[in-house]
Chains A and B, each alone.
Chain A
């Protein structure tokens, strides 16, 4: 719904040892939430977010929203993988237009590529919400969909020896293990990294390296302000249209939490780690949000003081232990900051 769309009633296994081997499910509305009681949850806290709060690499009961529910809060997880802030806001607006009313709205913001210029999104908020249930699907006509499916069938019916061999190999458990499962064996995992067959997570960063520079007056900083401006507009929209509190839970990136990742990233780029600060983007966004009197849960202290690894070995998303910490922080923060007591 509105942008990246989670298929309703999805049940997908995600296999990538040693990172994760989980099943993701969505309910009949396409949300990463339970089917039963979801309507009730929509009367609780709404959590909007992207991949981190969607919990794509976690089991359903390990996501921060599910953990918070275990701690006594009705919560509807509205997150969607790949959603930008304006798409998250469209989901909130859509549910509000459908007549649902939450106790509070929370946006989960992970410091990856969410920082940007949101002038267009602020403008969009003043315009009527266009009901377009599935942008992806309406980009294509039924005739084209059928044509694509038939073409794929052509692949299946390729009876040439090479075609058959290719299909058998691609669909075999052995091939899948060789391609993905090999990383579950430590020795082979090191080898694939050494031979450049697998990306090093430390070298992949969705944030521009310049935002880490310690210098003042960095032109990139303006986007932290613009992002915070948009969040302030959303806060006001929530107050005006839903009459409930609004807050943000801000989560540091993998490079923030793992200093060795950051050092390797700097080395890879040929930059001096002493002139760059891995906490800088997080701090800048936090300051910008607080400067606009937005209620923010700063999760960095709790996550940094945890004595466990909070990312995945090959992926910067927060792992189950991290989600658990965030959920506990949220449970402690909701009554004090937003005045919400547990309702379960």
Chain B
């Protein structure tokens, strides 16, 4: 905590001041100090959220991976070594403790809101570095760069998750953008602010499933409740990403990855996860899904490859759900999404068997089928998103009140 200054978030004037400072520095002749300024700004933002205990916890969370990554940097013989595995396991345990997951809630009454300041995003970057360090020797690495990468102020709170090579490339290009690029970056920032802080809040109050308990509720009310939260979530999250990408681009930092690509127009659940929170999806695919599926399929008989793939999907989405939150509703969300992916893959396989590859391609081009696919995926997504805000029992109670008055 910084006396007299609350937690710094993108909606506040303190964030605007910090970002303005970064922009001025990026445009000035002393832009060589930008990396240090980025690290310092990230640290100020983190400190504005954290108390003394949280800072100690954050320090403990940061130091060990840095030392290990430093030792492994460019050393290909250290690839996939035991040290990295042990440190990753240690970081995950610390993460579970800080986030107070049920079996790891050993802190008792000690308050550690460190969990809210994007600690999962820091963990993603640390795991990325611990795995990739042996292959990144051609890139510079220092304590300052590590700080700037893990605590980068524009991705500290909610991503997007960036790779280290992209981060270094972005840093190398810092400077004043051309006028058209600058206008585009500012436009993106303002659009993001409007999406996240003007439009999104309009939809939050009507996303409450408790509203379905009104005796006069009809289908229009149901549709409003069903669609309000997904619309809010998209506007809020993608608006935030627009702001941070816009600010980064104003500094000439062009490599911050995109996080959304019309996700609600996805044609199936697999498609959805390539368009929604994309940097997270890529990270999960790279560091969880691919290694796990490779390991399982390699060990299982060939005829069980499909089953192993389904198991991998369910395990991966279970982890996705658990990452979103520590309570049962998030597990249910993950499993529902996993089931959606498995079912859509199974359905596609059946179609391919009956229609053949060309028949399936023709069907995909059919506008009616296309529209129906989007409609079904959208509504499945909206239903599953209700689990992000509500416990399954509360949902069941609200639906019961609405459908069986």
CA–CA, A141 and B309, complex, Å: 44
CB distance from B13 to the nearest CB of A (A): 9
Report B-chain residues with C-beta under 8 Å of the C-beta of A138: 210-211, 213-214
Is there contact, CB below 8 Å, between B224 and A36? Answer: no
Q: Does B217 belong to the interface (CB within 8 Å)?
A: yes
Q: Does A214 belong to the interface (CB within 8 Å)?
A: no
Interface centre among B100, B212, B217, B224 (most CB of A within 10 A): B224
**With A37-B109, A153-B198, A156-B198 known to touch, is A140 a contact of B214 (CB < 8 Å)?**
yes
Query: Which residues of chain B from 185 to 238 have any CB-CB distance to chain A below 8 Å in the complex?
Result: 198-199, 201-206, 208, 210-214, 216-217, 220-222, 224-225, 228
Is there contact, CB below 8 Å, between B109 and A143? Answer: no
**With A145-B205, A149-B206 known to touch, is A139 a contact of B198 (CB < 8 Å)?**
no
Q: Does B105 belong to the interface (CB within 8 Å)?
A: yes
Closest to A139 in B: B214
Q: Which of A36, A134, A142, A156 contacts B105 (CB 8 A)?
A: A36
Q: Does A152 belong to the interface (CB within 8 Å)?
A: yes
Report B-chain residues with C-beta under 8 Å of the C-beta of A34: 109
CA–CA, A138 and B211, complex, Å: 5
Q: Does A148 belong to the interface (CB within 8 Å)?
A: yes
Q: Does B108 belong to the interface (CB within 8 Å)?
A: yes
Query: Which residues of chain B from 156 to 198 have any CB-CB distance to chain A below 8 Å in the complex?
Result: 198
CB distance from B303 to the nearest CB of A (A): 46
CB distance from A199 to the nearest CB of B (A): 29
Q: Does A308 belong to the interface (CB within 8 Å)?
A: no
Is there contact, CB below 8 Å, between B109 and A146? Answer: no
CA–CA, A17 and B216, complex, Å: 44
Closest to A156 in B: B198
Is there contact, CB below 8 Å, between B211 and A140? Answer: yes
**With A137-B211, A149-B203, A156-B198 known to touch, is A36 a contact of B109 (CB < 8 Å)?**
yes
Report B-chain residues with C-beta under 8 Å of the C-beta of A156: 198
Query: Which residues of chain A from 142 to 182 have any CB-CB distance to chain B below 8 Å in the complex?
Result: 142-143, 145-146, 148-150, 152-153, 156-157
Q: Which of A134, A145, A153 contacts B206 (CB 8 A)?
A: A145
Q: Does A292 belong to the interface (CB within 8 Å)?
A: no
CA–CA, A146 and B213, complex, Å: 16
Closest to B216 in A: A141
Closest to B202 in A: A149
Chain A residue total in the interface (Cβ 8 A): 24
Q: Does A132 belong to the interface (CB within 8 Å)?
A: yes
Q: Which of A146, A153, A157 contacts B224 (CB 8 A)?
A: A146
Report B-chain residues with C-beta under 8 Å of the C-beta of A142: 206, 208, 211-212, 214, 217, 220-222, 224-225, 228
Is there contact, CB below 8 Å, between A150 and B202? Answer: yes
**With A36-B109, A137-B208, A153-B202 known to touch, is A146 a contact of B228 (CB < 8 Å)?**
yes
Q: Does A133 belong to the interface (CB within 8 Å)?
A: yes
Is there contact, CB below 8 Å, between A141 and B214? Answer: yes
Query: Which residues of chain B from 265 to 306 have any CB-CB distance to chain A below 8 Å in the complex?
Result: none
CA–CA, A149 and B206, complex, Å: 8
Report A-chain residues with C-beta under 8 Å of the C-beta of B109: 34, 36-37
Q: Which of A37, A139, A141 contacts B221 (CB 8 A)?
A: A141
CA–CA, A13 and B214, complex, Å: 31
Is there contact, CB below 8 Å, between B205 and A149? Answer: yes
CB distance from B213 to the nearest CB of A (A): 4
Report B-chain residues with C-beta under 8 Å of the C-beta of A132: 213
Report B-chain residues with C-beta under 8 Å of the C-beta of A141: 211, 214, 216-217, 221
Report A-chain residues with C-beta under 8 Å of the C-beta of B100: 36
**With A137-B211, A137-B213, A138-B214 known to touch, is A143 a contact of B205 (CB < 8 Å)?**
no
**With A37-B109, A134-B210 known to touch, is A152 a contact of B221 (CB < 8 Å)?**
no
CA–CA, A142 and B204, complex, Å: 11
Query: Which residues of chain A from 20 to 78 have any CB-CB distance to chain B below 8 Å in the complex?
Result: 34, 36-37
Closest to A34 in B: B109
Report B-chain residues with C-beta under 8 Å of the C-beta of A153: 198-199, 202
Report A-chain residues with C-beta under 8 Å of the C-beta of B6: 13
Report B-chain residues with C-beta under 8 Å of the C-beta of A148: 205
Closest to B391 in A: A28
Is there contact, CB below 8 Å, between B108 and A37? Answer: yes
Is there contact, CB below 8 Å, between A133 and B198? Answer: no
Interface centre among B108, B198, B202, B397 (most CB of A within 10 A): B202
Is there contact, CB below 8 Å, between B202 and A152? Answer: yes
CA–CA, A134 and B210, complex, Å: 7
Report B-chain residues with C-beta under 8 Å of the C-beta of A150: 202
CB distance from B2 to the nearest CB of A (A): 15
CA–CA, A160 and B133, complex, Å: 56
CA–CA, A260 and B395, complex, Å: 54
Interface centre among B105, B111, B214 (most CB of A within 10 A): B214
CB distance from B33 to the nearest CB of A (A): 31
CA–CA, A145 and B211, complex, Å: 9
CA–CA, A150 and B224, complex, Å: 13
Interface centre among A34, A146, A157 (most CB of B within 10 A): A146
Is there contact, CB below 8 Å, between B206 and A146? Answer: yes
CA–CA, A156 and B197, complex, Å: 11
CA–CA, A150 and B221, complex, Å: 15
Report A-chain residues with C-beta under 8 Å of the C-beta of B206: 142, 145-146, 149
Is there contact, CB below 8 Å, between A133 and B214? Answer: no
CA–CA, A140 and B224, complex, Å: 13
Closest to B327 in A: A28
CA–CA, A132 and B398, complex, Å: 11
Closest to B228 in A: A146
Closest to B222 in A: A142
CA–CA, A143 and B211, complex, Å: 9
Is there contact, CB below 8 Å, between A137 and B210? Answer: yes
Report B-chain residues with C-beta under 8 Å of the C-beta of A149: 201-206
Query: Which residues of chain A from 100 to 158 have any CB-CB distance to chain B below 8 Å in the complex?
Result: 131-134, 137-143, 145-146, 148-150, 152-153, 156-157
Given contacts A36-B111, A138-B210, 11 further A-B contacts (CB under 8 A): A36-B109, A37-B109, A132-B213, A133-B394, A134-B210, A138-B214, A141-B211, A143-B224, A145-B205, A149-B202, A153-B199
20 residue pairs of the A-B complex, CB under 8 angstroms, read A34-B109, A36-B105, A36-B107, A36-B109, A131-B397, A134-B210, A134-B213, A137-B211, A138-B214, A141-B211, A142-B208, A142-B224, A143-B220, A145-B211, A145-B224, A146-B203, A146-B224, A148-B205, A150-B202, A157-B198
6 tightest Cβ-Cβ pairs between the two chains A and B: A142-B221, A146-B206, A142-B211, A142-B224, A138-B213, A145-B206
